[in-house]
Chains A and B, each alone.
Chain A
Amino acid sequence: MALGQDTVDRIRASAALYPSKQSAILPALWAVQHEQGYVTDEAMGEIAQHLGLPPSLIEATASFYSMFLLRPEGRHEVVICVNAPCMLRGADEMAAHIQRRLGVRDGQTTPDGAITWHSTIECLGACGGAPMMQVDHRFEEDLTPQKVDAIFDRLRTEPAPHEAPKPKKAVAVAPVKGEKVRSGAEGARARGRKTQK
């Protein structure tokens, strides 16, 4: 599947933005994943062409980072942290609940293709809201079984983030005048951060 024009434009814009075009590799990979949901070898080859770099370099970089999906997964990605700070607050039990609830094991996708879940030892930066998980890269904290169930019910019917009607801007590209995406920042507000007294 060849890359869409919008993605190609983003890759080219990134290449122009940085002092070195090689710096555009991560933004390009994000742009591809944003469009296609994962990054194929074919897409890496295309990135290499657009950036004028050897394709081995793209694969070397893409495979180093844990967030690029190299094969198709479910419409929604659910990642639960089981590192020590989360473990202390019941992450293992919550992971067990997720497994029971979704009926598939760590790393697998539900039969309806809606959700791929996995646990990670990589801290996701929400130890204060443990147990926590990221759903399509958005934080869900202070999890309870009920809260998890409600989230899964929602995900079962929602389209994949990259196929949603209004795609969220998720890649570093040359800022375009007049284009403003505020939803993220407001979203962050909406989820009641811990504030000190």
Chain B
Amino acid sequence: MGLKPILTKDFGVENLHQFGVYERTGGYTGFKKALEMQPDELVELVKKSGLRGRGGAGFPTGNKWSFLPKGMYPRYLVCNADESEPGCFKDRYLIETSPHQVLEGVMIAAYAIGANLAFIYIRGEYLPQYEALESAIDEARDAGYLGKNVLGKGYDLDVILHRGAGAYICGEETALLTSLEGYRGEPRLKPPFPAIKGLYGKPTVVNNVETVSNLPHIVLNGADWFAALGTPTGKGTRVWCISGHVNKPGNYEVENGTPIRELIEVHGGGVWKNRKLKAFQPGGASMMVLLPEHLDVALDFDAIAKAGSMAGAGAMVVMDETTCMVDAARRYVKFFQHESCGKCTPCREGTFWMANVFDTFESGSARQSDIDLLLDIGYNIDGRSFCPLGDASTWFPRSVIKYFRDEFEQHVAEKGCPFKKQAVEAVA
């Protein structure tokens, strides 16, 4: 348990983003080894490794690959680099520090599923990271790792780097595909699932940046090696983003199963300004809040779910005792309102309504009954909206009402934010 740099083990190496440097650290040997294997063997290897998707849902990667219908070509591999979850900045870190590792992972995944064309969809705001990947792709092409007859092995592969333009929803895999096809990034009905009818109506696999970055290591070191890391249902490591009220925010790759306490208190340097921990959020903006009593829960999909939240994309947002939980929830609700694509009624109208109600808590005009109104609006969104964005918009605020209802009542009683008042009094 604890820090376990696998993806990030060479991240201290100067100029790792350069092709030559990456190769000297052993880069692309995983891809070369993969090319010596049959695609089916690779699928089995990844299945056996127990690797689960790092984008948020935690679906087993090898299984996802094996859903592609036999004999249907062309098929596409799409790497989801549309990282936009508030609290999450690990994919950015993986891309800018080691773009070739991401690319190598994409190449292995593409080969495993039999795709001759792969896409990397990177969020529009990540311009330097876009440029890093663009250079990496050019270098790999120059080196014969991409293009016709890759490394003389009779396999053709090219990678198209596609830049988004500001839409959180495009992180949802069907919306990502819609966006990649040039349309508004609205999610699609499932079924059919992308494995059957994905990009351009063809069988498609969508894998996250961190997921594919694991692949070169799994191919090189074997499924058993990977499966020996982490927990029984959460193999390997994860790159956790820690932010908020800690002394050392940043990315830390830790073995799955490490206690949350260690991430916050040791790697994150503990709560800043010698304050007390009030709450934390283990999966980014979408996920339910947890309390200090949950500090000993393990960093693991299943353990966190059991505690009443979700690991999501691996973003730990830490809040100290001075945090106004109502305001934190208000920010997230406003975020979801801003990012709702508008396709379905509950999400489009419900997030707008919730945001309006939250503003009244801030402005001081909220009524006692508005706390239950928020819960009721949430009830009519969660599980009713078209895609998980709507559902997720309700999780954090509802969990905050569950654990910090008194703060909402205080906002009503004091006609405004008690925390802001405190701050003003302190200054005065």
- Let me know if chains A and B touch directly in the complex, using CB atoms closer than 8 Å: yes
Interface residues of A (CB under 8 A from B): 17-20, 22-27, 29-30, 57, 60-61, 64-68, 82-85, 87-89, 121-130, 134, 137-139, 168-172, 175, 179-189, 193-197
Nearest B residue (CB) for A185: B132
Given A27-B163, A127-B89, A185-B128; A121-B334 close (CB under 8 Å):
yes
Specify which of A20, A30, A121, A126 lies most central, judged by the most chain B CB atoms within 10 Å of its CB.
Answer: A121
Interface size for B (C-beta < 8 A) is 83
Instruction: Decide if B388 is an interface residue (CB 8 Å cutoff).
Output: no
B135 touches A65 (CB 8 A): no
Tell me the minimal C-beta distance from A47 to chain B in angstroms: 11
Nearest A residue (CB) for B267: A196
Contact of B165 among A66, A138, A169 (CB under 8 A): A66
Q: Which residues does chain B contribute within 8 Å of A61, judged by CB atoms?
A: 182-184
Given A125-B88, A128-B250, A189-B17; A181-B166 close (CB under 8 Å):
no
Given A29-B165, A61-B183; A126-B89 close (CB under 8 Å):
yes
Which B78-109 residues sit within 8 Å CB-CB of chain A? 83-89, 91-93, 96-97, 99
B89 touches A170 (CB 8 A): no
Given A61-B182, A124-B125, A129-B249; A30-B165 close (CB under 8 Å):
yes
Jot down 24 A-B pairs with beta carbons below 8 A, ordered by A. Answer: A20-B200, A26-B165, A26-B182, A61-B184, A65-B124, A65-B164, A67-B125, A83-B332, A87-B328, A89-B244, A121-B334, A123-B86, A123-B87, A127-B88, A127-B241, A128-B249, A138-B128, A172-B161, A181-B135, A182-B135, A185-B18, A195-B12, A196-B251, A196-B253
Q: Which residues does chain A contribute within 8 Å of B242, judged by CB atoms?
A: 128
Q: Which residues does chain A contribute within 8 Å of B85, judged by CB atoms?
A: 123
Nearest A residue (CB) for B76: A19
Contact of B167 among A19, A22, A66, A172 (CB under 8 A): A66
A196 touches B5 (CB 8 A): yes
B331 touches A175 (CB 8 A): no
A134 touches B125 (CB 8 A): yes
Residue-by-residue, is B169-182 near A (CB-CB < 8 Å gives 1, otherwise 0)? 00000000001111
Which B101-148 residues sit within 8 Å CB-CB of chain A? 117, 123-132, 134-138, 141
| Given A67-B165, A181-B135, A187-B128: 19 more A-B contacts, CB < 8 Å | A19-B74, A26-B162, A30-B165, A61-B183, A65-B124, A83-B332, A88-B318, A121-B331, A121-B334, A122-B335, A125-B84, A126-B92, A127-B249, A138-B128, A170-B163, A175-B138, A183-B131, A185-B17, A196-B3
B127 touches A170 (CB 8 A): yes
Specify which of A134, A138, A172, A184 lies most central, judged by the most chain B CB atoms within 10 Å of its CB.
Answer: A184
Instruction: Decide if B361 is an interface residue (CB 8 Å cutoff).
Output: no
Instruction: Decide if B317 is an interface residue (CB 8 Å cutoff).
Output: yes
- A7 CA / B57 CA spacing, docked (Å): 39
B335 touches A19 (CB 8 A): no
Nearest A residue (CB) for B336: A121
Q: Which residues does chain A contribute within 8 Å of B3, judged by CB atoms?
A: 196-197
9 closest cross-chain pairs (CB), A and B: A184-B131, A194-B250, A66-B166, A65-B165, A127-B243, A22-B182, A67-B166, A123-B86, A185-B132
Q: Which residues does chain B contribute within 8 Å of A29, judged by CB atoms?
A: 165
Instruction: Decide if B319 is an interface residue (CB 8 Å cutoff).
Output: yes
Nearest A residue (CB) for B245: A88
Q: Which residues does chain A contribute within 8 Å of B245, judged by CB atoms?
A: 88-89
B332 touches A84 (CB 8 A): yes
A196 touches B8 (CB 8 A): yes
A125 touches B182 (CB 8 A): no
Nearest B residue (CB) for A194: B250
Nearest B residue (CB) for A89: B244
Contact of B86 among A23, A65, A83, A194 (CB under 8 A): A83
Q: Which residues does chain A contribute within 8 Å of B331, judged by CB atoms?
A: 82-84, 87, 121
